[in-house]
Amino acid sequence: MEFAELLHARRSVRSFEQRPIEAAKLKTILELTNLAPSAGNLQAYEIYQVSASKVRAALAHAANQPFVAQAPLTLVFFANPGRSARKFGTRGRSLYAIQDATIAATYAMLAIGTVGLGTVWVGAFDDAGVTRAVNAPDDWIPVAMLPIGYAAEAPAPTERRNLDELVHVL
């Protein structure tokens, strides 16, 4: 799929078929994700690949969003602030690690579309609940979850602000 076409076609999907995800598709998603840029190329983020149903249920509970458990697979992106702080100090800890994780999750979200699967960015959750669910270190910050599966819905496009309002031309 052409890149612009992918961006136009992407929708947040919150209903999934129970069909499993092929290993080759998951591999493609993760390899494309790993191409994301990061500050100093430090990749100050970590990814949990969750298919265990107990953990998926715990993630859905932490987000209070039951559809998360319906997806056969969820990727959870954490910022690893210490990894960026070693080179960039406070800016690495408080900003770059979050940006690294966010960009990687964005790459993943778009990569998921390229292999014909659906996802939605889930950012509303209890941080401690997500950390506990995957048993991550306390100093990593959960940034986003991407529940992934074959879409069981075809959502309509959502509105966007007008560029005239959004872009401040100087």
Ligand X SMILES: Cc1cc2nc3c(=O)[nH]c(=O)nc-3n(C[C@H](O)[C@H](O)[C@H](O)COP(=O)(O)O)c2cc1C
Chain residues binding ligand X by CB under 6 A are 11-12, 14, 65, 120-124, 155, 158
CB of 27 to ligand X, least distance (A): 25
Residue placing its CB nearer to ligand X in the complex, 70 or 82: 70
CB of 10 to ligand X, least distance (A): 7
Please state, as a whole number, how many other Cβ atoms lie within 10 Å of the Cβ of residue 10: 16
Structure tokens at 68: 């998360």
Cβ neighbours of residue 85 closer than 8 Å, sequence gap 6 or more: 92, 93, 97
CB of 120 to ligand X, least distance (A): 5
Residue placing its CB nearer to ligand X in the complex, 122 or 130: 122
Please state, as a whole number, how many other Cβ atoms lie within 10 Å of the Cβ of residue 123: 12
Residue placing its CB nearer to ligand X in the complex, 9 or 52: 9
CB of 103 to ligand X, least distance (A): 12
Residue placing its CB nearer to ligand X in the complex, 92 or 118: 118
